[in-house]
Structure 1
Amino acid sequence: MNKAWLVAALALGACAHEDRVTAAAQLSLDWRRVATPADRERLSRWRTAFVEGLAQAKASGHAADIAREGRLLEPDAAVAGGGPPAGDYRCRVIKLGAKGKGGLAYVTYPAFDCRIADEAGIASFRKLTGSQRPVGVILDGGQKLVFLGTLVLGDEQRAIDYGRDAERDMVGAIENLGDGRWRLILPYPHYESVMDVIELVPATIKSGS
């Protein structure tokens, strides 16, 4: 079984349910055995990316915007608690920092539709709408829940296999904010920003409230 393939296949339902159950049973839940070396390194630097992204955003005149977001944009705001339960979510993306000159150091988007699903005992995350859509699995990382996935772009209908294209590979952590919200932090994404923060709010609750 190709473990990298499973990261995309579980999140998209790309194979039959029976195959997903068999694949999940064969998958080691140690995220380090699934992640690429580059992604293990990226995740180890999550706090550096967060602080760097915030510094760029504040320097570009967005200190007040950051303050209004409260705990969502505080690097150490995570609290003990479980991950988000399966269901539909509203996901609001904030991009911090810019990868190159001329890029925007602070960008926030309206909430999109996302879903957390239970795929044969493994949680998956999928952003359902928008031009950039992370999809992947959520694995136990000890103190953190680790997200491993790939990026679906534009009108693409399927994700490419994790590990096939480093520019599409994604790694991050899902953190409990302690107030009925979670966030997915994505350090050093390959596109545009230094840190992406995705707020996860159950679809029955207004995002950003």
Structure 2
Amino acid sequence: MNISARIAGSVLCALSATLLLGCGGKGKKTIEVQIAPARAVVPGGEIVTDWRRVATSADRARLRGWRQAWIDALATITAKDDLAVLRADPALFDPDRVLPGASLRPGGYRCRVIKLGANGTAMHNLTAYPAVDCAVTDEGAVSSFYKVSGAQRPVGLIFPDSDARGVFLGTMVLGDETKPLKYGQDANRDLAGYVERIGPRRWRLVLPQPRFESLLDVVEIVPKP
């Protein structure tokens, strides 16, 4: 059964567990969005909620190499000011900081992206962006996550994995695009990462080895005030 949702001044993209389905609009007007069921039913009536059956082989490899990606990214941070950023927030930048209660409740959040380790000459080894609105929507056995604004906007599903970790699979929406590509359609847009709780009412989305700009992206996620 489809779910209707009203989102003011943002783009909400409908998702399924095997594909990302495009929808959306621009402007500050209120738009009507139809959210597709997040649980894909395969032949025989089986409901797919296991991320391992959804993730591409490339993304499964990225998820397996998450810790090495952390180590490689942190090793590039040598500038005094950048090191001060890491030391000022050890919970956010400690790869082993994982607490029970990884599940994100539906609602509005503020998300701040920090890119670690330059991938190419155009980026610094640490680039932090201002916080913007993002949201989590209950899709049944999984949740959808989307970043509302910014030049790069992750859109995808959070699959349950353990009490301490969820798995994010999605795609990157760029610039003024209003529709995400289907997951698995373009490896350069596919995203895979882990959702972890790192403090009271504080989570992070860790995206190892994104295709552009960085070796690792850390997205701080906190509830909207």
Shared fold by TM > 0.5? yes
1:60 pairs with one of 61, 76, 79: 79
Tell me the TM-score normalised to structure 2 length: 0.81
Task: Describe the shift of the 1:3–1:177 C-alpha distance in structure 2 as closer, same or farther (beyond 3 A).
Answer: closer
Gaps of 5+ in 1: 205-209
Q: For residues 21 and 33 of structure 2, what CA distance do their matches in structure 1 show?
A: 7
Report the equivalent of 2:167. Answer: 146
The answer to whether residue 49 in structure 2 is matched with residue 29 in structure 1 is yes
Task: Describe the shift of the 1:74–1:130 C-alpha distance in structure 2 as closer, same or farther (beyond 3 A).
Answer: same
1:72 is aligned with what amino acid?
L
Task: Describe the shift of the 1:45–1:11 C-alpha distance in structure 2 as closer, same or farther (beyond 3 A).
Answer: farther
CA positional deviation for 1:23? 3.7
More helix by share: 1
2:18 is aligned with what amino acid?
A
Gaps of 5+ in 2: 1-15, 25-31
Secondary structure at the residue paired with 1:190? coil
Q: For residues 30 and 99 of structure 1, what CA distance do their matches in structure 2 show?
A: 31
Q: For residues 196 and 129 of structure 1, what CA distance do their matches in structure 2 show?
A: 17
- Tell me the C-alpha RMSD between the 2 structures: 2.3
Task: Describe the shift of the 1:43–1:22 C-alpha distance in structure 2 as closer, same or farther (beyond 3 A).
Answer: closer
**Deviation readout 1:153-194 (Å, 9 max, x if unpaired):** 001011010000000000000001132100000000001000
More strand by share: 2
Report the equivalent of 1:200. Answer: 221
Equivalent residues in 2 for 1:1-209, closer than 5 Å: 3-5=17-19, 8-9=20-21, 16-17=34-35, 20=37, 23=40, 27-57=47-77, 59-61=78-80, 62-101=82-121, 103-142=123-162, 144-204=165-225
Secondary structure at the residue paired with 2:53? helix
Q: For residues 38 and 63 of structure 2, what CA distance do their matches in structure 1 show?
A: 28
Q: Tell me, yes or no, if the aligned pair for 1:183 and 1:198 is still in contact at 8 Å.
A: yes
Q: For residues 11 and 183 of structure 1, what CA distance do their matches in structure 2 show?
A: 26
Q: For residues 99 and 188 of structure 1, what CA distance do their matches in structure 2 show?
A: 9
Q: Tell me, yes or no, if the aligned pair for 1:134 and 1:149 is still in contact at 8 Å.
A: yes
Task: Describe the shift of the 1:165–1:103 C-alpha distance in structure 2 as closer, same or farther (beyond 3 A).
Answer: same
Q: For residues 39 and 200 of structure 2, what CA distance do their matches in structure 1 show?
A: 36
CA positional deviation for 1:4? 2.9
Q: Tell me, yes or no, if the aligned pair for 1:149 and 1:162 is still in contact at 8 Å.
A: yes
Q: Tell me, yes or no, if the aligned pair for 2:39 and 2:141 is still in contact at 8 Å.
A: no
Q: For residues 16 and 90 of structure 1, what CA distance do their matches in structure 2 show?
A: 23
Q: For residues 93 and 100 of structure 2, what CA distance do their matches in structure 1 show?
A: 17
Q: Tell me, yes or no, if the aligned pair for 2:23 and 2:178 is still in contact at 8 Å.
A: no
Percent of matched pairs sharing the same residue: 43
Q: For residues 73 and 123 of structure 1, what CA distance do their matches in structure 2 show?
A: 25
Secondary structure at the residue paired with 2:89? helix
Tell me the TM-score normalised to structure 1 length: 0.86
Query: What count of residue pairs does the alignment treat as equivalent?
Result: 198
Secondary structure at the residue paired with 1:196? strand
For structure 1, which segment, 109-118 or 77-86, has the greater mean C-alpha deviation from structure 2 after superposition?
A: 77-86
Relative contact order, higher structure (CA 8 A, sep 6+): 1
Q: For residues 23 and 204 of structure 2, what CA distance do their matches in structure 1 show?
A: 18
Q: For residues 169 and 108 of structure 1, what CA distance do their matches in structure 2 show?
A: 22
